[in-house]
């Protein structure tokens, strides 16, 4: 335990509020975790899976009303509404504390409160930050043990009141009284009435993005919704890329990419540093460095297969917790849509119903069912994964799902333009009919649901970070779109491993080794600049992939302008200026 009076006083306060029957400190030992697994199996909170086929793997089912992050119940409670900005839900801190205190009062009567000290980032790294999560859920403890570094080794590192206070009470998962609340000025996160990962593993979106983005702004660093990968060339040199895509645009797939055969044979490799979150700081040499603050992957299961993401699938073969997937009752293994074409006949679908999976109409696994897998399980985990100094970033890549607008890849002219490219990021809904353009949701830097303060100030912070870096050493900024379609609604680009071809042009640009041509939106490769060896993409298709349709862009610019208008005077002048440049270029 600890003598730290800030920790102990807060714990006493929270105990007095929640009134648990007992308090258990999580020390991080395997022995304690194993005892908790057994207890959770005993109580029915978790199901033990086939220990020969899936050693150390368990199953958990959430309530049917509690299966995803709830953006409409997520609040940023800054002293003024202006500080939270127009994108976030806001309530005055006093009002919210009063509401929450009533909900937490006696919430753990008859239950155990677990105290989880955890580090986001390698323990002791200059990038890392510490949190303590109090929870009444063993499922949360066991997930946090995979997703973060936990226990006594973390507790020892807390200095004074330098930790994020996180309180989670499961209660009866009533969706009408569900709240995921952040008090950035108080280093406090409170979550109640949920047991779903993104709402209750408070180190992830709540701390590592919302609170950390606020800390980053004040302390001069960045917390971003980005994967980090290392690309090794045949000479053994590794260059690192950080990339931000909205949910369901293939971040985990890109992070664990397997190069096309001919590039693999030449000796190219991809190493995964992170698949969801990056913390970035300017190093003593003026370059931007990144760490992945997490220790595991909380990945969407459906669609993950040997073909689409071999490395992610491998990562789930041991010591993994599966949530809301389907169970094959015959051998107690797991199944989800897209895993293979062989759904189990004797199946427990995600809500617990016994069904014939072969004839069942509907989802056997929930579309947002998840695996929580240790990062060290990943066959391509980077040797730099634990490097406390992080990895130097050569390129930042933004991306979205755009049927018509964005070309396969383009480069921003400079940092300021790159910030604008990130700020205008958007993604289309996927349900659009063939050929039709989907509904555009603007998602700046893929951070729409995750910025813990006013989005306009967040753009300002990006611009400030650029000013602190030598332009020669700052990462170059790019935008990619793997989802461009032809007029018949067919994808023009194969995606998956072949995305490596685009990454190679990006890294060649960073090294000054590749050409680019000016366009109204930025710097484009020519069709000759993308290596299409062994690829079934015609030169015509590639030209279409790289084309910029001015009229489609003019429409997008209107949409951008409307979006930016909500920030009023707070929108940085540089963003307005870039919008004017783009408009002029399109004329
Ligand atoms: C997300 C996630 O929703 O990573 O972005 O879970
Ligand atoms: Mn994410």
Q: Please confirm, yes or no, whether 249 is among the known catalytic residues.
A: yes
Q: How do 188-192 and 164-169 pair as beta strands?
A: parallel
Q: Could you tell me if 536 and 437 lie in one domain? A: yes
How many angstroms separate the alpha carbon of residue 376 from the centre of ligand 2?
19
Question: Domain tally for the chain?
Answer: 3
Q: Could you tell me if 256 and 307 lie in one domain? A: no
Q: Measured from the CB, is residue 198 less than 6 Å from ligand 1?
A: yes
Nearest to 92 by CA among 78, 112, 71: 78
How many angstroms separate the alpha carbon of residue 294 from the centre of ligand 2?
12
* Atom 5 in ligand 1: residue holding the nearest Cα: 247
Q: Measured from the CB, is residue 308 less than 6 Å from ligand 1?
A: no
SS3 128: coil
Euclidean distance between CA atoms 288 and 286, whole angstroms:
7
Instruction: Please give the number of the atom of ligand 1 that sits closest to the Cα of 276.
Output: 4
Neighbours of 301 (CB within 10 A): 26
For residue 227, list its beta bridge partners.
243
Q: What residues pack around ion ligand 2 (CB closer than 5 A)?
A: 276
Q: What is the pLDDT along the chain (587 residues), one digit of tens a residue?
A: 899 999 999 999 999 999 999 999 999 999 999 999 999 999 999 999 999 999 999 999 999 999 999 999 999 999 999 999 999 999 999 999 999 999 999 999 999 999 999 999 999 899 999 999 999 999 999 999 999 999 999 999 999 999 999 999 999 999 999 999 999 999 999 999 999 999 999 999 999 999 999 999 999 999 999 999 999 999 999 999 999 998 878 899 999 999 999 999 999 999 999 999 999 999 999 999 999 999 999 999 999 999 999 999 999 999 999 999 999 999 999 999 999 999 999 999 999 999 999 999 999 999 999 999 999 999 999 999 999 999 999 999 999 999 889 999 999 999 999 999 999 999 986 543 333 456 788 999 999 999 999 999 999 999 999 999 999 999 999 999 999 999 998 999 999 999 999 999 999 999 999 999 999 999 999 989 999 999 999 989 999 999 999 999 999 999 999 999 999 999 999 999 999 999 999 99
> What tokens appear for 462 in the block?
């990006």
For residue 298, list its beta bridge partners.
372
Instruction: Please give the number of the atom of ligand 1 that sits closest to the Cα of 450.
Output: 5
How many angstroms separate the alpha carbon of residue 402 from the centre of ligand 1?
20
Q: How far is CA 476 from CA 105, 130, 555, in A?
A: 51, 31, 27
Q: Could you tell me if 144 and 213 lie in one domain? A: yes
Whether residue 26 contacts residue 118, with contact meaning beta carbons closer than 8 Å, is answered with no
Last residue of a domain, which of 356, 377, 398? 377
Euclidean distance between CA atoms 202 and 191, whole angstroms:
8
Residue 92 CA to its chain's centroid (Å): 28
Euclidean distance between CA atoms 297 and 208, whole angstroms:
14
CATH code, domain with 436: 3.90.228.20
> What tokens appear for 27 in the block?
């020390």
- Residue 264 in domain: yes
Q: Could you tell me if 312 and 423 lie in one domain? A: no
Euclidean distance between CA atoms 406 and 426, whole angstroms:
10
| Phi, psi angles (nearest 5°) of residue 355 | -140, 165
The single residue listed with the structure tokens 């910025």 is: 451
Instruction: Please give the number of the atom of ligand 1 that sits closest to the Cα of 446.
Output: 5
Whether residue 258 contacts residue 231, with contact meaning beta carbons closer than 8 Å, is answered with no
Note the ligand closest to the C-alpha atom of 226.
2
Q: Could you tell me if 313 and 281 lie in one domain? A: no
* 463: alpha, beta or left? (left if phi > 0; alpha if psi -120 to 50): alpha
Whether residue 53 contacts residue 143, with contact meaning beta carbons closer than 8 Å, is answered with no
Nearest to 481 by CA among 557, 427, 441: 427
Note the ligand closest to the C-alpha atom of 296.
1
Euclidean distance between CA atoms 129 and 213, whole angstroms:
12
Query: What average pLDDT is seen over the chain?
Result: 96
Instruction: Please give the number of the atom of ligand 1 that sits closest to the Cα of 298.
Output: 6
Catalytically annotated residue among 249, 347, 378, 380: 249
Q: Measured from the CB, is residue 68 less than 6 Å from ligand 1?
A: no
How many angstroms separate the alpha carbon of residue 213 from the centre of ligand 1?
16
The single residue listed with the structure tokens 């408070």 is: 202
Kindly report the pTM of this predicted structure.
0.97
> What tokens appear for 279 in the block?
């913390």
- Residue 61 in domain: no
| Phi, psi angles (nearest 5°) of residue 124 | 90, -5
- Residue 120 in domain: yes
Tens digits of per-residue pLDDT, 508-561? 999 999 999 999 999 999 989 999 999 999 989 999 999 999 999 999 999 999
- Half-sphere exposure of residue 159, counting CA atoms within 13 Å on the CB side? 3
Euclidean distance between CA atoms 422 and 441, whole angstroms:
14
Euclidean distance between CA atoms 445 and 216, whole angstroms:
15
Euclidean distance between CA atoms 176 and 582, whole angstroms:
44
Q: Which of 247, 249, 368 to mutate to test the pocket of ligand 1 (most atoms within 8 A of CB)?
A: 247
Structural domain harbouring 166: 5-45+70-219
Q: Could you tell me if 442 and 572 lie in one domain? A: yes
- Residue 439 in domain: yes
CATH code, domain with 328: 2.170.8.10
Euclidean distance between CA atoms 77 and 81, whole angstroms:
8
- Residue 200 in domain: yes
SS3 23: strand
Q: Could you tell me if 453 and 538 lie in one domain? A: yes
- Residue 56 in domain: no
Euclidean distance between CA atoms 426 and 210, whole angstroms:
20
Q: Report which DSSP code applies to 211.
A: I
How many angstroms separate the alpha carbon of residue 259 from the centre of ligand 1?
25
Q: Measured from the CB, is residue 498 less than 6 Å from ligand 1?
A: no
Last residue of a domain, which of 166, 193, 219? 219
How many angstroms separate the alpha carbon of residue 573 from the centre of ligand 2?
29
Q: Measured from the CB, is residue 547 less than 6 Å from ligand 1?
A: no
Q: Measured from the CB, is residue 276 less than 6 Å from ligand 1?
A: yes
Q: Measured from the CB, is residue 247 less than 6 Å from ligand 1?
A: yes
* Atom 6 in ligand 1: residue holding the nearest Cα: 198
CATH code, domain with 87: 3.40.449.10
Q: ∠ CA(162), CA(163), CA(168), 5° rounding?
A: 160
Q: Could you tell me if 233 and 93 lie in one domain? A: no
Instruction: Please give the number of the atom of ligand 1 that sits closest to the Cα of 246.
Output: 5
Q: How do 333-335 and 326-328 pair as beta strands?
A: antiparallel
Q: Could you tell me if 423 and 517 lie in one domain? A: yes
- Half-sphere exposure of residue 441, counting CA atoms within 13 Å on the CB side? 15
> What tokens appear for 380 in the block?
């391509």
Q: Which of 67, 71, 198, 226 to mutate to test the pocket of ligand 1 (most atoms within 8 A of CB)?
A: 198
> What tokens appear for 288 in the block?
């931007």
The single residue listed with the structure tokens 């029915």 is: 44
Q: Measured from the CB, is residue 544 less than 6 Å from ligand 1?
A: no
Q: Could you tell me if 401 and 520 lie in one domain? A: yes
- Residue 52 in domain: no
Q: Is 306 exposed, middle or buried (0-12, 13-18, 19+ CB in 10 A)?
A: exposed
> What tokens appear for 10 in the block?
């807060």
Instruction: Please give the number of the atom of ligand 1 that sits closest to the Cα of 198.
Output: 6
SS3 182: strand
Euclidean distance between CA atoms 299 and 320, whole angstroms:
11
Q: Could you tell me if 19 and 167 lie in one domain? A: yes
Q: Report which DSSP code applies to 482.
A: T
* Atom 3 in ligand 1: residue holding the nearest Cα: 247
Instruction: Please give the number of the atom of ligand 1 that sits closest to the Cα of 68.
Output: 3
How many angstroms separate the alpha carbon of residue 106 from the centre of ligand 1?
31
Q: Measured from the CB, is residue 69 less than 6 Å from ligand 1?
A: yes
Euclidean distance between CA atoms 499 and 512, whole angstroms:
20
Last residue of a domain, which of 340, 360, 377? 377
Greatest Cα-to-Cα distance within the chain, rounded to the nearest angstrom? 69
DSSP state letters, 474-529 = SPEEEEE-TT-B-TTS-BSS--GGGHHHHHHHHHHHHTT-S--EE-SSSEE--GGG
- Residue 285 in domain: yes
| 395 sits in which H/E element | strand 391-399
Q: Could you tell me if 556 and 491 lie in one domain? A: yes
Q: Report which DSSP code applies to 10.
A: H
């Amino acid at each position: 335990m600890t003598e730290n009076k800030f920790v102990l006083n807060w714990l006493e306060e929270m105990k007095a509020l929640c009134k648990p029957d007992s308090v258990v400190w999580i020390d991080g030992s395997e022995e304690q975790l194993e005892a908790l697994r057994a207890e959770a199996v005993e109580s029915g909170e978790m199901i033990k899976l086939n220990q020969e086929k899936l050693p150390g793997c368990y199953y958990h089912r959430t309530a049917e009303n509690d299966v995803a992050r709830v953006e409409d119940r997520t609040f940023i409670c800054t002293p003024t509404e202006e500080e939270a900005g127009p994108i976030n839900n806001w309530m005055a801190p006093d009002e919210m504390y009063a509401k929450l205190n009533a909900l937490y009062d006696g919430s753990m009567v008859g239950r155990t409160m677990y105290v989880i000290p955890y580090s986001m980032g390698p323990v002791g790294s200059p990038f890392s930050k510490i949190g303590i999560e109090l929870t009444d859920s063993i499922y949360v403890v066991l997930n946090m043990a995979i997703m973060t570094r936990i226990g006594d080794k973390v507790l020892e590192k807390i200095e004074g009141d330098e930790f994020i206070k996180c309180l989670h009470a499961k209660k009866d998962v009533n969706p009408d009284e569900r709240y995921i609340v952040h008090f950035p000025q108080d280093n406090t996160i409170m979550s109640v009435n949920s047991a779903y990962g993104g709402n209750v593993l408070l180190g992830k979106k709540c701390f590592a993005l919302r609170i950390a983005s606020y800390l980053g702004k004040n302390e001069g660093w960045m917390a971003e919704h980005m994967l980090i990968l290392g690309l090794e060339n045949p000479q053994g040199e590794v260059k690192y890329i950080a990339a931000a895509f909205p949910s369901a645009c293939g971040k985990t797939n890109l992070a664990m990419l397997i190069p096309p055969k001919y590039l693999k044979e030449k000796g190219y490799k991809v190493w995964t540093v992170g698949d969801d979150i990056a913390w970035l700081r300017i190093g003593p040499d003026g370059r931007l460095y990144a760490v992945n603050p997490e220790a595991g992957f909380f990945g969407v299961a459906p669609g993950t297969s040997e073909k689409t993401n071999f490395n992610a699938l491998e990562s789930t073969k041991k010591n993994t917790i599966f949530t809301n997937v389907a169970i094959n009752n015959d051998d107690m293994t797991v199944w989800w849509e897209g895993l293979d074409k062989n759904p189990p006949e004797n199946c427990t679908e995600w809500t617990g119903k016994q069904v014939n999976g072969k004839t069942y109409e509907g989802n056997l696994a929930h579309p947002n069912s998840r695996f929580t897998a240790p990062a060290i399980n990943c066959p391509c985990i980077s040797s730099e994964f634990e490097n406390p100094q992080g990895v130097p970033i050569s390129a930042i890549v933004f991306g979205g799902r755009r049927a018509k607008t964005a070309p396969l890849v383009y480069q921003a002219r400079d940092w300021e333009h790159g910030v604008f490219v990130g700020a205008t990021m958007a993604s289309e809904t996927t349900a659009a009919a063939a050929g039709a353009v989907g509904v555009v949701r603007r998602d700046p830097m893929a951070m729409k649901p995750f910025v813990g303060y006013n989005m306009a100030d967040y753009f300002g912070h990006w611009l400030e970070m650029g000013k602190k870096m030598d332009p020669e050493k700052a990462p170059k900024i790019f935008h990619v779109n793997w989802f461009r379609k032809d007029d018949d609604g067919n994808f023009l680009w194969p995606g998956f491993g072949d995305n490596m071809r685009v990454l190679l042009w990006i890294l060649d640009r960073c090294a000054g080794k590749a050409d680019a041509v000016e366009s109204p939106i930025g710097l484009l490769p020519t069709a000759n600049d993308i290596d299409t060896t062994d690829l079934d993409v015609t030169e015509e298709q590639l030209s279409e992939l790289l084309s910029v349709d001015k009229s489609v862009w003019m429409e997008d610019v209107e949409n951008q302008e409307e979006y930016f208008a909500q920030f009023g005077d707070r929108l940085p002048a540089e963003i307005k200026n870039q919008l004017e440049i783009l408009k002029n270029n399109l004329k």
